[in-house]
């Protein structure tokens, strides 16, 4: 391993004084100069190919946190506690005095941030450490970051080095002053936070520090970096959107860019996947959840997918042009892919091939690993309840992905979609799952959906036992769980971004269910094909106002390859198991939820246009009122819009 002397280290690094003292008093600091060196550290001194990560906790004794297995194709990491296999959505705390709407550490736990910081630095000074610079935020607008991590948990540093860009200290010229620092100190989860995941953020104008007191990388190495970028953007006036994006080339060689947002589980990764087919090459569109009847589509040539981003999209103001469309690049160097939908070989061929034969070792979480064997992404870790873990992950560097768009190439977004997990809904069992196959919405409604960002039905990505199948709000942009500042400021920024890009079409897409039909992610894939072939425009004659104004327009016709989607999928009130009265009951659940969630934004700091839009929702205004404020630019043909019969 390449080790730097203290003198060499201090000559390069400009860090806080207490961290500098850690470096001065610690004789065991490893600074990997290559990713391979860092990867080798993940397995400690194990000769068996199994490295146990654990710590001695006062009052508890030795506590095992994780097991790291050396597989043929990478490192398989599995946590001892099932709670640690998913992100806890309530693990963020603020350790500074800057404006915030998030819980402050002292208020939530009665812990003084200065005391916790001092204790953390004291603990780090006594550990063998991995200290490593990375670049975060993507190639177009990268920001410097430093990670300080115990050597026995080097797998955590390797995760960060794959999600963002590993930087060798040998390539650093002159002084190095990180814009952010991530500290990893797992024992404090037990000694200070009652075993709960905790990430404490300390911000200033020049430095954002994240103290990660848990080893699952979701809240810190992944979303913690998201928090850093959102904080920088809040100061500088730009947004890192919670989205995937892809350029699609139609069978006729036209190109169109889709950007898909939504809470975790809302279909971001699926937007980058080829449409799934049956053995006979048909596409299963839907299954009636009562009768079991299945519906299929015969689909010929489909679009070629050129991925842009998987989860974090950089929409820096420097990228924007005069096209009237949002301009984006990827904000990551690697993708933290959830593969819960891959249950057997051949289910997701692209990621299966890459993960089995990677160009460099990968890292797997919540997936079975055997020393010396190939880790397979469809062999999910079996939990204590006997079921496969619902949050299996693999980190794949973006350069390994076929046809990927270069990370520094800005692209204009033609279609901006928002995905929501919908529950089964009928008039006997009304719920909010009555979004049609696709809904066309004006910018005003697109903004409202992102203010609330319903988390939706059975989210597999987070640890939240209270969620059930009911509605939960993820908050502004669906990135609010990761933001450290003020929600109204983020709401205003998001409003300006959406209204300022009127030539990007805004749509809503359901997944899992449309009324009584189980559709999985098929609606997303079919709508993607439909709009790509129409270059991101919709024909006025196919639009009809949805019964629920929050859904904007429904389509009264969706035809692809000469086959029509059932009208009851486009307009769920036409399903016999729902009907108009049942639909209205379901829509009221959603509308009441929106009204309750939107109250918090009615403060003086809200942009006046935003106040007007929220007022419309509160007063059950019809679609035409939203259109007066923010029209839809991507409609072609004669405007023969009609209101749905009531």
Q: Which of 102-116, 148-162, 457-471 has the lowest mean pLDDT?
A: 457-471
Question: Is 585 a domain residue?
Answer: yes
Region 296-321: what's the mean pLDDT? 94
Of 238, 243, 236, which Cα lies nearest the Cα of 258?
243
CATH number at residue 184: 3.40.449.10
Does 159 share its domain with 36? yes
Question: Is 302 a domain residue?
Answer: no
Q: What is the pLDDT of residues 125-142, one digit of tens each?
A: 999 999 999 999 998 889
The band of 635, judged by pLDDT with boundaries at 50, 70 and 90, is: confident
Q: How many CB atoms are located within 10 Å of the residue 514 CB?
A: 28
- Give me the helices (H) in 482-547, please: 487-499, 522-532
CB-based burial of residue 49 (10 Å sphere; 0-12 exposed, 13-18 middle, 19+ buried)? middle
- What's the CA gap between 249 and 256, in Å, rounded? 7
Question: Is 162 a domain residue?
Answer: yes
Host domain of residue 188? 6-70+85-236
Q: What is the mean pLDDT of the chain?
A: 93
Q: Say what the pLDDT of residue 455 is.
A: 83
Domain end marker among 236, 271, 303: 236
Tokens (6 digits) for 181: 């620092």
Of 280, 246, 568, 254, which Cα lies nearest the Cα of 413?
246
Question: Is 231 a domain residue?
Answer: yes
Q: What is the pLDDT of residues 414-469, one digit of tens each?
A: 999 999 999 999 999 999 999 999 999 999 999 999 999 998 776 555 544 444 44
Does 22 share its domain with 89? yes
Work out how many domains the chain is built from and give that number.
Answer: 2
CB-based burial of residue 273 (10 Å sphere; 0-12 exposed, 13-18 middle, 19+ buried)? buried
Tokens (6 digits) for 595: 């009204």
CA distances for 462 relative to 242, 265, 389, 466, angstroms: 16, 9, 11, 11
User: Any residues with CB less than 8 A from the CB of 115 and at least 6 apart, and which?
Assistant: none
Does 57 share its domain with 201? yes
Q: What is the pLDDT of residues 346-370, one digit of tens each?
A: 888 889 999 999 999 999 999 999 9
What percent of the chain clears pLDDT 90, i.e. is strictly above it?
Answer: 84
CA distances for 381 relative to 196, 346, 366, angstroms: 21, 19, 5
> What are φ and ψ of residue 536, in 5° steps?
75, 25
Specify the 3-state DSSP secondary structure of 334: strand
Give yes or no for residue 643 having a pLDDT over 90: no
Whole-model pTM: value is: 0.93
Question: Is 465 a domain residue?
Answer: yes
User: Any residues with CB less than 8 A from the CB of 27 and at least 6 apart, and which?
Assistant: none
Question: Is 205 a domain residue?
Answer: yes
Give yes or no for residue 152 having a pLDDT over 70: yes
- What's the CA gap between 351 and 332, in Å, rounded? 17
Residues in the chain: 646
Specify the 3-state DSSP secondary structure of 343: coil
- What's the CA gap between 467 and 421, in Å, rounded? 13
Question: Is 374 a domain residue?
Answer: no
Of 267, 284, 310, 283, which Cα lies nearest the Cα of 421?
267
Question: Is 630 a domain residue?
Answer: yes
Specify the 3-state DSSP secondary structure of 197: coil
Tokens (6 digits) for 501: 């890009």
Does 153 share its domain with 288? no
Which of 139-170 are b and which e, b meaning 16 or more Cβ less than 10 Å from the residue's Cβ?
bbbbbbbbbbbbbbbbbbbbbbbbbbbbbebe
Q: Say what the pLDDT of residue 11 is.
A: 76
Does 223 share its domain with 90? yes
CATH number at residue 461: 3.90.228
Q: What is the pLDDT of residues 221-279, one digit of tens each?
A: 999 999 999 999 999 999 999 999 999 999 988 999 999 999 878 899 899 988 988 88
The band of 3, judged by pLDDT with boundaries at 50, 70 and 90, is: low
User: Any residues with CB less than 8 A from the CB of 523 and at least 6 apart, and which?
Assistant: 437, 438, 509, 510, 511, 514, 569
Does 224 share its domain with 287? no
CB-based burial of residue 315 (10 Å sphere; 0-12 exposed, 13-18 middle, 19+ buried)? buried
Does 442 share its domain with 572? yes
Does 202 share its domain with 289? no
SS3 content of the chain, % helix, strand, coil (to 5): 30, 25, 45
Does 192 share its domain with 289? no
Which of 287-306 are b and which e, b meaning 16 or more Cβ less than 10 Å from the residue's Cβ?
bebeeeeebebebeebbebb
Q: Say what the pLDDT of residue 276 is.
A: 87
Does 33 share its domain with 93? yes
Query: Is there a contact between 315 and 240 (Cβ–Cβ < 8 Å)?
Result: yes
Does 205 share its domain with 62? yes
Region 48-69: what's the mean pLDDT? 96
CB-based burial of residue 68 (10 Å sphere; 0-12 exposed, 13-18 middle, 19+ buried)? buried
Domain end marker among 236, 251, 266: 236
Does 190 share its domain with 289? no
Q: Say what the pLDDT of residue 459 is.
A: 59
User: Any residues with CB less than 8 A from the CB of 644 and at least 6 apart, and which?
Assistant: 544, 545, 546, 547, 554, 571, 573
Q: How many CB atoms are located within 10 Å of the residue 227 CB?
A: 26
The band of 321, judged by pLDDT with boundaries at 50, 70 and 90, is: very high
Q: Say what the pLDDT of residue 645 is.
A: 38
């Amino acid at each position: 391993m390449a080790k730097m002397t203290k003198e060499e280290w201090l000559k390069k690094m400009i860090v806080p004084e207490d961290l500098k003292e850690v470096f001065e008093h610690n004789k065991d600091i490893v600074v990997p100069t290559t990713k391979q060196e860092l990867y080798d550290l993940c397995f400690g001194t194990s000769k068996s190919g199994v490295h146990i990560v654990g710590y001695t906790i006062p009052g508890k004794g030795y506590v095992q946190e994780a097991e790291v297995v050396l597989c043929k194709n990478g490192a398989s990491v599995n946590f001892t506690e099932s709670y640690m296999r998913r992100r806890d959505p309530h693990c963020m705390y603020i350790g500074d005095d800057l404006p915030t709407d998030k819980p402050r550490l002292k208020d939530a736990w009665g812990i003084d941030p200065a005391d916790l910081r001092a204790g953390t630095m004291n603990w780090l000074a006594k550990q063998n450490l991995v200290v490593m610079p990375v670049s975060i935020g993507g190639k177009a607008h990268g920001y410097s970051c430093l990670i300080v991590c115990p050597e026995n948990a080097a797998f955590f540093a390797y995760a960060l080095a794959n999600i963002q860009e590993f930087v060798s200290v040998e390539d650093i010229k002159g002084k190095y002053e990180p814009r952010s620092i991530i500290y990893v100190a797992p024992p404090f989860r037990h000694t200070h936070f009652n075993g709960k995941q905790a990430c404490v953020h300390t911000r200033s104008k020049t430095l954002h520090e994240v103290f990660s007191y848990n080893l699952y990388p979701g809240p810190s190495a992944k979303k913690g970096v998201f928090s850093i970028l959102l904080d920088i953007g809040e100061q500088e006036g730009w947004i890192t959107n919670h989205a995937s994006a892809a350029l699609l080339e139609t069978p006729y060689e036209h190109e169109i860019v889709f950007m898909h947002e939504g809470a975790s589980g809302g279909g971001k990764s699926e937007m980058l996947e080829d449409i799934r087919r049956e053995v006979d090459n048909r596409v299963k569109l839907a299954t009636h959840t009562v009768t079991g009847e299945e519906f299929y589509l015969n689909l010929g040539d489909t679009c070629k997918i050129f991925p842009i981003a998987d989860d974090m999209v950089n929409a820096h103001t420097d990228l924007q042009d005069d096209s009237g469309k949002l301009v984006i690049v990827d904000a990551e160097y690697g993708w933290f892919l959830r593969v819960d939908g891959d249950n057997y070989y051949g289910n997701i061929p692209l990621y299966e091939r890459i993960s089995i034969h990677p160009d460099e070792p990968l890292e797997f979480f919540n997936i079975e690993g055997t020393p010396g064997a190939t880790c397979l992404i469809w062999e999910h870790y079996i939990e204590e309840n006997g079921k496969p873990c619902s949050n299996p992950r693999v980190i794949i560097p973006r350069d390994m992905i076929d046809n990927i768009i270069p990370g520094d190439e800005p692209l204009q977004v033609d279609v901006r979609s928002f995905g929501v997990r919908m529950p089964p809904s009928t008039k006997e069992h009304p719920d909010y799952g009555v979004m049609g196959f696709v809904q066309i919405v004006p910018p005003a409604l697109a903004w409202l959906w992102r203010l609330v960002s319903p988390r939706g039905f059975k989210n597999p990505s987070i640890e939240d036992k209270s969620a059930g199948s009911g509605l939960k709000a993820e908050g502004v942009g669906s990135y609010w769980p990761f933001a450290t500042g003020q929600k109204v400021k983020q709401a205003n920024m998001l409003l300006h971004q959406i209204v300022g890009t009127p030539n990007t079409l805004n749509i809503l897409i359901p997944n899992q269910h449309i009324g009584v039909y189980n559709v999985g992610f098929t609606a997303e894939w079919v709508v993607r094909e439909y709009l790509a072939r129409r270059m991101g425009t919709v024909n006025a004659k196919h639009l009809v106002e949805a019964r629920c104004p929050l859904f904007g327009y429904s389509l009264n016709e969706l035809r692809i390859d000469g086959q029509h989607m059932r009208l009851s999928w486009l307009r769920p009130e036409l399903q016999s198991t729902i009907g108009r009265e049942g639909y209205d009951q379901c829509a009221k659940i959603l509308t009441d939820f929106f009204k309750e969630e939107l109250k918090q934004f009615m403060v003086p700091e809200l942009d006046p246009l935003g106040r007007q839009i929220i007022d419309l929702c509160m007063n059950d205004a019809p679609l035409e009122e939203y259109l007066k404020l923010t029209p839809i630019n991507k409609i072609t043909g004669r405007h023969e819009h009609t209101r749905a019969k009531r």
